A and B are shown apart, each in its own frame.
Chain A
Amino acid sequence: MTASDTLGRQETAAPAIELKGISKAFGPVQANKDISIRVQPGTIHGIIGENGAGKSTLMSILYGFYKADAGEIFIAGRKTDIPDSQAAIAAGIGMVFQHFKLVENFTVLENIILGAEDGGLLKPSLSKARKTLVELEQEYGLNVDPDAVIQDLGVGMQQRVEILKALYRQADILILDEPTGVLTPAEADQLFRILGRLREEGKTIILITHKLREIMETTDTVSVMRRGEMTATVKTAETSPAELAELMVGRKVLLRVDKKPATPGEVVLDIKGLRVIDEQGVERVKGIDLQVRAGEIVGIAGVAGNGQSELLEVLGGYAVGTGDIVVSGQPLDLSGKHSDGQSRRRSGIAHVPEDRQREGLIMDYHAWENTAFGYHRDPAYSKGLLMDNAAIRRDTVGKMERFDVRPPDPNLAAKNFSGGNQQKIVLAREIERNPDLLLVGQPTRGVDIGAIEFIHQQIVALRDQGKAILLVSVELEEILALSDRVAVMFDGHIMGTRLSAETDEKELGLLMAGVGA
């Protein structure tokens, strides 16, 4: 039997899910426009699209959170109404949300039975679930300690509990919404192995993501959404990342960062013997030496939690460290009263923090207020004793224009912008201060592909003006694409430094795992 025979036979079977003409509007915003899609049973079907393209709305309709304005849902060939989550569960649909729906201080077992108990008393349900869990573990290789409390588990394990919850409810169709957003690369790989195993056992999987690489590596079929519409459904084997990116964004996208070779100048940042001990008394940075020169981007690669965040925090002035750091010839105060963000800015350091929603912005404040933060003492922003709000607004409008922030409305609260546009606000604030040294943490986390391209271009442009840039990212691809030199951190040490032109993912991956030196 040839491959095409198999395909042909699959397509004659009733699709696991078929949506016909689904539409949903929120006020004037048409989130889903006449969407039709067929998902074949026993396949991994990717749905890709930028933030706000309507992927989550579509899945919420499928899981009974919203009622579609028009359209029909067929599950395994039968027309099905899904008015609430209970109906979705009964139809065999399980959902793994981007933000897990787990009770943090319950055990794994308690979370699994919640809502699917067998009777009024817990004991029989718990012992039945314990048995089922062992079976599921053998069937799919999903091992997890049933008595562990959720808050003691890592995100990868918590996600596994979410998958087990769905399987315990006998889901045949599993929807995963941006499942790798919170995972380390190793955890993501593990997840995809599990999904492969589930597919082998005949489950149907819908994978929602905006990461092209995941789509290319794991899916059988991929549907692309743009502005509420389903623009294409193609076989993954017959498409390419470039084609998908174009379908998503509606124009050609540069997947590689276009940059000239670096021309490093003198040393701007010089770190010697830096150690950082966190609040729990754990040593996070264990004596590192690092230099960043003018006109170069140095990327710090590593699995999250190996000391990169602490390095950025000390440089940004909100963590205490020991050792020597010299910026443009001036030593930094690492623990005294000049160890704060204000002093760092005076030393010519600008900082785009890793967690933009907590450290970079105040989500409830307007965009114009956010662009002034940290620089609110700038004479251009004040009129005598008072702040010159009109001047700040004018300045913000300019920044929004230059950094293509959409919508360009300075009076909108930060939380009302998409992830990419929030990041552009932070970048505009920091880059336009013309710093000698720019610290950038996770510049494109949760940012859609069109904005990634723009953000990368801005960082490279700053480098080409002869500024020093220290980049921290857990996305190895990003590190390789942007950096001129790569330093790999593992367990608080720098395992090695490589020129990015002379290394590859494999070598860096080994260093990230603490192998070799």
Chain B
Amino acid sequence: MMKKLFALLLSLAMVLSLAACSSGTADTDAAATAPTEAPASEPVADADPTEAPAEAPTDEAKEFKVAMICDSSISDGGWGMSCYNAMVDAAAEYGWTTEVSDMIAQSAYYETIVTYCDLGYDLIYAPGNQYTDAVLQAAEEYPEVAFALLNGGTSTPEQAVNGNVTSLLPDAQQVGWIAGALAGLMTETGTIAFIGGMELDTTVGKYNGYAEAAAYVGEQAGKTVTTLDVVYSGDFSASDKGIEFAKAMIDQGADVFFGDASAVDSGARQAIDEANAASGSVSIYDIAQPSDLLGQNECIICSQVTDNASLVGLCMEAVENGTFGGEVIYGTLQNGVLSAGAISDLVPAEIQEQYLAYLDQMIEGTFMQ
């Protein structure tokens, strides 16, 4: 009897384990009220995603579904959270149903994607360059499914033999510029820092943009600004590594931080807040990304904001129209996908003015010219 009971308990345990593998459904209310009119325009590369979404699909019976995979947590207070919210926001706007699997291991990228393909999902949303191989492999096997690769390469859509992959590509250099310009203006020690999760092309691009913008802005202000060499935590969930990296970088004199490492960034902010508390004043700052996180931590003075919802929305629109795939949709300051979030009162008014002027230069294309 006891053995049977134990076997039953173990079975229940396994069921719970399987249930936990999927991170829950964020079924949008809008799914029940799917738009009904035909779309007015086709999505084009470098289109302005800030425009209102085109009108609705013609097939009222069709319920579109999008699934996101993510190797970090969607509650990481950074990248995962922002990308998840982007999908949910876009789905609410277009009337799609959403699903997400987060914290998945690299070895499970492909399996998770094809599971969603088998379940009939229309769009797979993979927010990161690291998913490229898995996406391309699945895209070849599931030509009827659309794949949106955030931070995908410029040549990735061409590599998809079925033409069902689209790269959503926020300009990494401009992302770095937005943070770097403020860092260059705010640093008092002349040393700033950047924490990366993995050595991805986009991360390197952000770091380079951050360092060059800070150096340029510092030079204009008559000071030398040095960016510590980029460090990599090796994954996106080790908040403890973020704490240790930030402590080590503060010891090296860094007083403005930017990062591209999800929960690791949250750990770094904790260490910065602790250092500020110990000194009795907020003199070490963090610039968050990719959504507006002002207020989440005391040290955050601004955020580099990427409107991923618009990019994902363009993909949904294209899927509904039957025109999806084979293109690169860029996100830039010029088309409004990239921007700076609200600025903290910790940033003096004159520096805010200078910063906004630099942002204007970036939009006009005259920054660092």
Whether chains A and B associate is no
Give A contacts to B, CB under 8 Å.
Answer: none
Give B contacts to A, CB under 8 Å.
Answer: none
